[in-house]
Structure 1
Amino acid sequence: MLRPTIRKRILGIAIGLIFLMVIISALSTVMTRKIAHQLDELTTKYVEAYGHLARMNVRSLEQAVVVRRMVFIKIQTPPDETAFADQQTIYEAKGREIDQEAQAARALIIAIIDDPTTVSDDAKLGRIENRIETITSDLRRYLDEEHKRIWPQLDSGNMPEVRASLVRTDALRDEFNRKIEEIRHDMLEQVRSDAAVTMRDQQRAIVISAIVTMLAAILGLTFAFFVSTGITRPVRRLLDGTRAVEAGRLDGSIDVTTRDEIGQLTAAFNNMVEQLRHKERLRETFGRYVDPRVVEGLIDQRSLTAGAGERRVMTVLFCDMQGFTSLSEGTTPQGLVKVMNHYLSTMSEPIRSHRGIIDKYIGDAIMAYWGPPFTEHSEQARLACLAAVEMADRGTALRTELPELLGVRAVPSDCEVRIGIATGEVLVGSIGSEFMMSYTVMGDAVNLASRLENVNKIYGSHSLVSEATMTAAGDAVESREIDRLVVAGQTRPETVFEIIGRAGELTEKQLALLARYAEGLTAYRARRWDDARRAFQAALEAVPGDGPSKAMAQRVENFQADPPAADWDGAWRLDQK
């Protein structure tokens, strides 16, 4: 539970900020309502009144058209009295519409004048209202008088007088339209004036809200600053300590200067740093014997199964250097350790850089694996194959470094790196006895990878991989099918591939080698021994000294001399591990 002093300070800051927010909200609401009312008056009264005035002009013109139609009907022989009556009805309806539009405009103007909550020029609006009433009544009176004179003249056939009456009627209507246009002009000025007032009030509201918000922010920040001054210093020291831990510096601690919650937090932080120091010592110690990712997983027990194994699809790699043991004979123990460390470091770096887990060192051999939770299932075979390519490249460079390390003139020509890779289901987990455990992988894929590494000696190859690995690796590397093998301990033939290099990096000679070797392998399996021998010889001409081509050419010669059984399936069986 928080101490009262800290609780009251935080609560005081919260209450003060809430109070300021309420004030700002209330002020904004009042100003917003006022502006909303002004906008409502502008759109529903000013603009509508202006529209009624415009429609008065339209109705007046429509009434004039009706009068013309009535005259045309009367001068016809014989006059169509029914049509004349219909047009007279329309004429009277247009007159009523003019009156209605006038009354609607006047009502809206009176409503604006009567509203005390908004600013408007009531005097001008009052004059506009009076003018509307006056010109409407004048128009109705004068037109009625003219029409009373025109219809008898039409009946008597006095057309000159009819035309004179129509001229006077048009003059009266033109005068009416002119006055209505003047009223509309004055009304438009009122609309613009009201819009300007509304925009001014809106801008004023924005400025006032900004000023009040700024004042509230200043007051809130000032209040918060003075309240938090008493607790920021120990918090700052705690933050500095946290940053030091984040940067990996675990050798310090923070002095506890208070007895409140911050002091308790500081003490807990010091205990946490001590625990981190202990874990870091464990990781540093065991990380040199077991991959740090395995160590961290076993310590934290989040992603690794500490007490039981489980079946997963993994990719396993074995690496060995042919002739390394005999090469190091006669070397002093100190020299041998130096050479071994350099060799294993050189071969291990590609594995680590491609996110592989080094399981163990077996003399000069390396066992590594890829798979969940350390790498994604879809990436494991590709990463393992790319690591094998880099290991082969480093093995070539290592041959030039070994003479200096061993103190010899040159290394034997058969001192080459051999790699075997297989992908399949394995048992992974902490495996061992009650006295000693090892987080490792076991299963057929492990055995197959070990056998493939050893099979390199038979074919004179460098990197042999299983079909499952090659399929999962996709087009990350260039490869060729070497043979179908039944390794020791298995009964089912396994298609074996050799990694040649990274995708898109092969030379023309290597491409020719792959094509000729594939032709030879096809002929070999079809028992066309002469074709197979010629294809393998062509492969050797493309790349002299190619180990698999030599091995297959020799095997073809042996089969020519002693053909295989009739039920031979094209697979080569290995009796030795």
Structure 2
Amino acid sequence: MPIFNQSIRRKIVGIALGLIILMVVTAILSMVMSSRVGHLLDELTARYIPAYGHLARSNVRSLERALAMRRMVIAKMQTPPDEEGFAARLKIFRETDAQVEQEAEAARKLINAIIDDESTPSDNAALARIETRIENAVKELRRELDEEDAKLLRLLDAKDFAATRDVLVHVDALRDLFTQRIDAIRAEMLSQVFVSTAQVIRHQRQAIIVSGIVTILAAIVGLAFAIMVSTGITRPVRLLLAGTREVEAGRFDKTISVSTQDEIGELASAFNRMVEQLRQNERIRETFGRYIDPKVVQGLIDRPEVAVDGQRRVMTIMFCDMSGFTAMSEGMTPRGLVKVMNHYFTVMSGPIRSNRGIIDKYIGDAIMAYWGPPFIEEEEPALLAGLAAIEMADQVPALQKQLPDLLGIRAMPGLCDLRIGIATGEVLTGSIGSELMMSFTVMGDAVNLASRLEAVNKTYGTRILISQATADAIGSHLGLREVDRLAVAGQSAPQTIFEVMGRAGALTAAHESLRSHYAEGLAAYRARRFDEARAGFNAALEAVPGDGPSRAMLARITRFEAHPPDEGWDGAWRLEQK
């Protein structure tokens, strides 16, 4: 509708103007009908009722005329005659005689005025009959009374009182006849007064009813108009609110239908454009989330200064590698190898992301990930990395069963396993690269140490090795075993390394015995009590046959028996190769 294509200001002004127009129309109609009632009431009070009053006074003047005549006769018949009283009574008689005609003529004029006024409803035929009857009654009375009055005065002058009495009786009969006619005319006039009064009352009631109906209709029309316009305003606002809540919840598939061309319609169009841009940004984010960890993408969007400036932070780094990858890949086609690696990375990436880790990159068959601020709190990185490593190790048996089915072969050329190294320390975080291409990553000794620990798993026959700082941060939340003091390639100062055996409280009795005997053997080993150390490591092997660290330490003891360590030996083992 055109009304919805106007601005909000014009809509509001239009509502107000429409209501004002309705009020004016209602007021004008009420005034017109009130004026009509007033006009009828004026006619009733200025014509009908006065005309009736003149007829009544004409009757009264007729009685007064008759009384003056009797007094005049009495004054003349006295002995001696009261000439002065007779003259006074004669004067009053003549005045009242003229007043009878005057009152009747005044009534006739008012009745004719009613008939002539076409602006008011009236029974003109009945009023015309009344006017004619008044005229006839007055004319007949005047003609007969003039004759009788003249005769009466002659008889009084002649002092023929007997004849005078007869004339007086005849005059009284004429007066009674006139009174009867005037009474009949008054009755008809009174009925016309009642009719006029009823019309005034009817028109007044009609004015009240019509004014009420028009007022109600105006209120209904105004309310409907206001509701229609306000709905046209509030409906898009509610749609905008619903769309905003959808966007707030992260759902960008909802658009708003633009039904108006006012400011709200423009706002709805701008909202749809914004949602479309957000939808595109979300698609970009999802696309890049397959190449860059989504948390990094979100972090760079929320805090771009972190990528630009770079910061030093204490973080936990993980390196994960697939053991036996070279042997396994030799017998596969490129397509089969890609299929296996994609499945392997999908399975191993799940625990990292579920434990809020950031996957930095895939390097061949290796995964590099890290935990730390600003992505998670500073107290949690080491524990989350340890839990992720345990979950990744738990996936190995299922992965070994899935790979043959994935390739459509009975058995894999070689068994696959995991090697995980975790280290905690201060690293540099930020965007590293050239002006043409950059990568948000971490750099530092902790990164190198995690990479070395991943490789050291081959030496000790373990899956998960962590640094001293990582073990200190984990505490008793996971089941740890101290494995050795080791100086990896590139580091001069040795540090203690630990194996993650499982979740705290989940170790079997055999593994608890293994950890206890291994600790005894390790203490004797560092004190150069190699026989006691051998006994401790053998006891550990009895608890868990094939334990890699125990076998590695027994081999080292055999080597020391042939080539004892120097006197200044600190109990640490130094690796010369990466």
TM-score (norm. length: structure 1)? 0.60
**Alpha-carbon shift at residue 249 of structure 1 (Å):** 5.2
CA contact (8 A) 1:421 1:466 kept: yes
Residue of structure 1 in register with 2:417 after alignment: 416
CA contact (8 A) 1:395 1:416 kept: yes
The SS at the match of 1:306 is: helix
The SS at the match of 2:516 is: helix
Deviations 1:389-409 (A, max 9, x none): 111111232122223334554
Pairing 1:67-78 to 2, within 5 Å after superposition: none
Equivalenced residue count is 367
The CA RMSD over aligned residues, in Å, is 2.7
The SS at the match of 1:506 is: coil
Pick the aligned partner of 1:281 from 277, 280, 283: 283
Residue of structure 2 in register with 1:67 after alignment: none
**Alpha-carbon shift at residue 8 of structure 1 (Å):** 7.4
**Alpha-carbon shift at residue 271 of structure 1 (Å):** 1.9
Q: Structure 1: how far apart are the matches of 2:235 and 2:12?
A: 18
Pairing 1:167-566 to 2, within 5 Å after superposition: 228-242=230-244, 245=247, 250-251=252-253, 253-298=255-300, 300-302=301-303, 305-411=306-412, 415-566=416-567
The SS at the match of 2:307 is: coil
Q: Structure 1: how far apart are the matches of 2:303 and 2:510?
A: 50
Q: Structure 1: how far apart are the matches of 2:378 and 2:13?
A: 55
Structure-2 change in CA distance of 1:413 and 1:540 (3 Å): farther
Aligned identity (percent) is 66
Q: Structure 1: how far apart are the matches of 2:322 and 2:558?
A: 30
Residue of structure 2 in register with 1:169 after alignment: none
Structure-2 change in CA distance of 1:10 and 1:496 (3 Å): farther
Deviations 1:304-355 (A, max 9, x none): 6232321000100000111122212121122111111111111111101100
Deviations 1:269-307 (A, max 9, x none): 022112102201211211110011111222x24266232
Q: Structure 2: how far apart are the matches of 1:504 and 1:555?
A: 31
Q: Structure 1: how far apart are the matches of 2:15 and 2:492?
A: 76
Structure-2 change in CA distance of 1:9 and 1:438 (3 Å): farther
Residue of structure 2 in register with 1:18 after alignment: none
Residue of structure 2 in register with 1:79 after alignment: none
Q: Structure 2: how far apart are the matches of 1:467 and 1:9?
A: 78
CA contact (8 A) 2:308 2:430 kept: yes
Structure-2 change in CA distance of 1:563 and 1:413 (3 Å): farther
**Alpha-carbon shift at residue 235 of structure 1 (Å):** 2.0
For structure 2, the 5+ residue unaligned runs are 1-6, 17-222
**Alpha-carbon shift at residue 5 of structure 1 (Å):** 5.1
**Alpha-carbon shift at residue 250 of structure 1 (Å):** 3.7
The SS at the match of 1:328 is: helix
User: Residue type of the partner of 2:342?
Assistant: N
Bigger CA drift: 560-569 or 224-233? 224-233
**Alpha-carbon shift at residue 414 of structure 1 (Å):** 5.9
**Alpha-carbon shift at residue 370 of structure 1 (Å):** 0.3
Q: Structure 1: how far apart are the matches of 2:372 and 2:486?
A: 25
Q: Structure 1: how far apart are the matches of 2:388 and 2:226?
A: 58
Q: Structure 1: how far apart are the matches of 2:568 and 2:302?
A: 54
Structure-2 change in CA distance of 1:10 and 1:497 (3 Å): farther
CA contact (8 A) 1:514 1:539 kept: yes
CA contact (8 A) 1:304 1:429 kept: no
Q: Structure 2: how far apart are the matches of 1:256 and 1:392?
A: 55
Q: Structure 2: how far apart are the matches of 1:291 and 1:447?
A: 21
Residue of structure 2 in register with 1:573 after alignment: 574
CA contact (8 A) 1:309 1:431 kept: no
Q: Structure 1: how far apart are the matches of 2:437 and 2:10?
A: 55
Pairing 1:136-151 to 2, within 5 Å after superposition: none
Structure-2 change in CA distance of 1:503 and 1:225 (3 Å): farther
**Alpha-carbon shift at residue 375 of structure 1 (Å):** 1.0
The SS at the match of 1:305 is: helix
CA contact (8 A) 1:486 1:571 kept: yes
Pairing 1:151-170 to 2, within 5 Å after superposition: none
User: Residue type of the partner of 1:259?
Assistant: Q
**Alpha-carbon shift at residue 4 of structure 1 (Å):** 3.5
Q: Structure 2: how far apart are the matches of 1:310 and 1:6?
A: 56
TM-score (norm. length: structure 2)? 0.60
**Alpha-carbon shift at residue 241 of structure 1 (Å):** 3.7
CA contact (8 A) 1:9 1:227 kept: no
Q: Structure 2: how far apart are the matches of 1:224 and 1:534?
A: 96
User: Residue type of the partner of 2:431?
Assistant: S
Q: Structure 2: how far apart are the matches of 1:576 and 1:10?
A: 87
- Over 6 Å off, 4+ runs: 6-11, 221-227
Bigger CA drift: 352-361 or 399-408? 399-408
CA contact (8 A) 1:421 1:465 kept: yes
Q: Structure 1: how far apart are the matches of 2:15 and 2:533?
A: 88
The SS at the match of 2:330 is: coil
CA contact (8 A) 1:426 1:445 kept: yes
